[in-house]
Amino acid sequence: MNFRAATQEDLDYVRENPFEGAVKNTLYSEVPDSNTYAVVYEGSLVAVGGVQVFWPGRGSFWLILTADCKKEGIHGLRALYAIREKIEELSKINNLHRAEAAVRTEFSRAIAMIEALGFKREALMKQYWPDKGDAYLYSKAIR
């Protein structure tokens, strides 16, 4: 599993080939900044994600999976380990003491993944997404 700087084409591909139709009015129509990465496995784009730093010390992580991430079971422990390492790296680079993530309440696989990454559920955010879907706010203190 490799990470590289994301391109606009990567983000467009994610929108056109979502994991189980999970891409619904995502926040990003353009690659936001240099904290955005493409996740590539055996030549296939499996996700785009990154961190948006709100102010010094606080950032929100996001990850959009493609349908390709279901192939050959790469959504398992290997992917989880690689994503955990990238979160730690981005937290260090951006000097974060608090990491956050918003997860759709009905996306049980994403909930399981974010909890496996050590994030704790803090709140229910009603009508959070542009389509008025609800989200859970997850956070993790960075030491």
3-60 confidence digits (pLDDT tens): 999 998 998 888 888 876 555 555 556 666 788 899 888 888 888 889 999 999 999 9
Alpha-carbon torsion, ordered 88, 123, 62, 57, to 10 deg: -50
Percentage of the chain lying above the pLDDT 90 cut: 45
Residue 100: band (very low, low, confident or very high) from pLDDT cuts 50, 70, 90 = very high
Q: pTM of the entire structure? A: 0.84
Residue with tokens 């309440």: 105
The answer to whether 91 and 59 are in contact (CB under 8 A) is yes
3 state SS of 50: strand
For helices 108-116 and 77-93, what crossing angle results, to 10°? 60
Domains of the chain: 2-141 (3.40.630.30)
d(CA 12, CA 108): 24
